Structure 1
């Protein structure tokens, strides 16, 4: 969604918002590091490219031991070389990779068994579920199996890992230690506001948000200390984004026109910074912050003061943004006819 160009009133609203954020948040996050990683063992899924790979490199630079997970061994070997090169202390840090397909049922338990074995039998300290994929299209124009496959990787891939690792960390005989374990899930800003063209994808990321909001309450029942976090990236300029654009409807591109595309390094760095601040809901760009504030509902707040103020303010922006979005959709529909013809036109354009 193009918040910036939708209306001059939106620009005024955003300017006011920036002033409010600067005033309220100045010094608000000056506490100690809530997720130190030096000497900790971190498992990252989807670590062979994009945000997952960038996160692995940056966490290695902070002194962590890293286990990279993805389906492709060749890609993991290349990523592993980058991670080793970034190590803060190559003489003491350890790195490896494990192959796994997170879309397959029952993948998590054997993967974790291998990871714990490599970690000298010790529990992992941090698990970050990054693996996911988006193949945009119209919900009605693709087989339902398309949506099911999106759910398998984007929801169940993380949900099964969450179930497996939390049962380890929170078992009745699991030790209660001063420093918490950290489970990090990766959703999408589309879980805050759905955009036309992501019908097969958005439900999975929205379900992941619902699971996280439930688990963060459930974890309060256990004596073991486990912190849950959810990262909500917007557009990331990665190989996955290039693949996404191959199927993305043209009307979706028009709606997103002007939206910023962040680099994987920037998204990973922003997420790690906010993890160190102890935040639960993590957005990596100003657009993402706006969308988060507009859709918090009953989710936990990073800051009760800031988030409450912004939740009150965001409805003003929606007054201008929503009509603009629906105007673009209706105009496109009027000019291009039935969506069933779009794919045929696209194929013809490619051939020509």
Structure 2
């Protein structure tokens, strides 16, 4: 009886410890406990791509509410003018803050250097303090059934659009004649996706760009340590966002993808922006904005920097156990769908 009792209490103790660590991890990740603001933006200048709608527009508005000067970047001047009016209305101090927009197509080669030159000129000769690459596009489809041009197009926007701006901004911030080492840190923020942690069938034309962006960020967060200037690199990993882009995405999304994603949270742009900014203010390198995203990040940390060495290490050991149950279920859904619907080349004809 004592042996059974000891065994039972041992299991309960382990279960209780796992639960405590999970709750603590969730609390830390969601910012329940207060901490220093590592990215104050009051009086600073923030440049945001993809700022005419969706997540970028929400980020711009919330940055203005925190006292930042904001430069909005997108292709459409008409949409930017509308967004600019919203951003002005959200300003913490309308008399002191300044707002501007610049048109640019991030998919075009060599767009970033002239864009930043315009931003610096408008900003009184000073480089932006924060550059946040939000612009992106998702056109889901089965990779084999899609022309490679579609994948190249999404790579141009989702990877090269951010990579070019990062290259130009880091050269501006870290050059020999750049800001002194004792100035406040500048921040480069990439926007990737949770599919960079776990790719899902149907996102073949999209996932490679977001995975490449994650790899670039993981490299640059090390490289900036070589320079005397203080530069912080971050990467945000949202899931589904209820934006105009999400509506367009759903038009081409394969049915099997919708089946796999059934039940996944869809967050508003405002919620994602607020949670992302909160993570950046806590000093996080990898910022996820929902518990599913946190779990996916823990299961795929690899050599990426940790937000919390204790929590991330423990959870990266525990969370992968869930894949024992999740992966067989996902693959079973895919195989059952294939048996029912036949060759993928016929899917479009059936719709």
Partner SS, residue 183 of structure 1: strand
Q: How does 1:180-191 map to 2 (within 5 A)?
A: 180-191=185-196
Structure-2 separation of matches of 1:235 and 1:17: 29
Question: In the alignment, does 2:314 pair up with 1:309?
Answer: yes
Contact 1:31 1:277 in 2 (8 A): yes
Structure-2 separation of matches of 1:21 and 1:67: 39
Q: How does 1:215-254 map to 2 (within 5 A)?
A: 215-254=220-259
- State the partner residue of 1:57: 61
- State the partner residue of 2:271: 266
- State the partner residue of 1:118: 122
1:195 to 172, 175, 200: 200
Cα deviation, residue 315, structure 1: 1.8
Contact 1:195 1:252 in 2 (8 A): yes
TM-score by length of 1: 0.92
Partner SS, residue 267 of structure 2: coil
Question: In the alignment, does 2:148 pair up with 1:151?
Answer: no
Partner SS, residue 297 of structure 1: coil
Rg bigger for which structure? 2
Cα deviation, residue 344, structure 1: 1.7
Question: In the alignment, does 2:86 pair up with 1:85?
Answer: no
Contact 1:29 1:277 in 2 (8 A): no
Q: How does 1:131-150 map to 2 (within 5 A)?
A: 131-150=135-154
Moved more, 60-69 or 22-31: 22-31
2:49 to 32, 35, 45: 45
2:73 to 43, 59, 69: 69
2:113 to 101, 109, 113: 109
- State the partner residue of 2:4: none
- State the partner residue of 1:255: 260
Structure-2 separation of matches of 1:104 and 1:344: 34
Cα deviation, residue 330, structure 1: 0.3
- State the partner residue of 1:22: 23
Question: In the alignment, does 2:340 pair up with 1:335?
Answer: yes
Alignment gaps of 5+ in structure 2: 1-14
Q: For residues 16 and 192 of structure 1, do their structure 2 counterparts lie closer, same or farther at Cα, with a shift above 3 Å needed?
A: farther
Structure-2 separation of matches of 1:272 and 1:219: 21
Greater relative contact order structure (CA < 8 Å, 6+ sep):
1
Structure-1 separation of matches of 2:68 and 2:258: 38
Q: Give the total of aligned pairs.
A: 333
1:321 to 319, 326, 338: 326
